[in-house]
Amino acid sequence: KQWYQRRVAITAGRSNNNIMTPFKRKSILNYSYSLSAKEFRFDAFSQATLDVATGMLKEFGELKLAQESIEGCTNTWIMKPGAKSRGRGVIPQNNFDDIIKLADSSKEEKWVIQKYIEHPLLVHNTKFDIRQWFMVTDWNPLTLYFYQDSYLRFGSRPFTLDDFDPSIHLCNNSIQKKFLSGQGKNETSFAKGNMWTSAAFKKHLDKHGNLDKWDDLIYPGMKKAIQRVMMTIQDIIEDRKNSFELYGADFMVDSNYSPWLIEINCSPAMGGTTKVTERLCSEVLDDCIKVIIDKKEKSTDRDSALIPLL
């Protein structure tokens, strides 16, 4: 009931009539009022209530909401302290009242609250996210370089929304290293150090006949997201000529193989904490130098894996 009330309130407030016509708005509100007029249990639906709920879901389906593919039935959100990094203080929550209470009572000045992807793509029933590097060498004109390689960070226990333990949901290496087998806990058996390179992920997709998902959906989707975000903030960034910055973007992939940009980190950690990052971090820093300093030298060494995006 709470989930329906919140979702309808947000959706009904949209002003784009191409998405929400006055008729649809009135219809959905009527459905919502019918469902929430009095207390009832979802497992004790009358036929009349079931008809109302079915009609409401049909109306939502016709709206083709942008984030429909990440929705589920648990109303789960992720709360992040606005001034912290490396997964510190990140808390999944599935009750709106608890979210408000925690945000109001906390010493944190700002929180970032995002809808949790309840249907993530899983590898061996384990959640993962993707760290993707990109570099900005100029803001006017906007000049972006996208690193061809990336790496996956895994949780250390099978995915479930019935348990909000950080070993399941927070893929940051600073969090997951606490759960490695060397410390008497769980390491993901198929990924040494709970990490894969993007090349290993592509092999996994290819094994299951889904390599085209990387080439057609995931990889170009990450490029498009980064490009659009950078274009959005371009005018508010102080431009300093002859400077550059390397960023680390974090993505999750839903069960339809669509990538979702979770956050962008300035000054991303570049230490070789695992075999995967030991190699990749060294290579991306080397490629930064090739782009920034040696670009005109036509180095005979390995070509840079930082490719122009804009």
Of the ranges 20-24, 57-61, 246-250, 291-295, which is most confident?
A: 246-250
Q: Does this model's pTM top 0.85?
A: no
Average pLDDT, stretch 48-64? Answer: 71
Mean of per-residue pLDDT scores for the chain: 80
pLDDT band at 300 (very low <50, low <70, confident <90, very high): very low
Is residue 230 over pLDDT 50? yes
Contact call for residues 260 and 222 (beta carbons, < 8 A): no
Q: How many CB atoms lie within 10 A of CB 100?
A: 12
Average pLDDT, stretch 52-63? Answer: 71
Q: Which of 109, 115, 12 is nearest to 68 (CA)?
A: 115
State the first-to-last Cα distance of the chain, in angstroms, to the nearest integer: 46
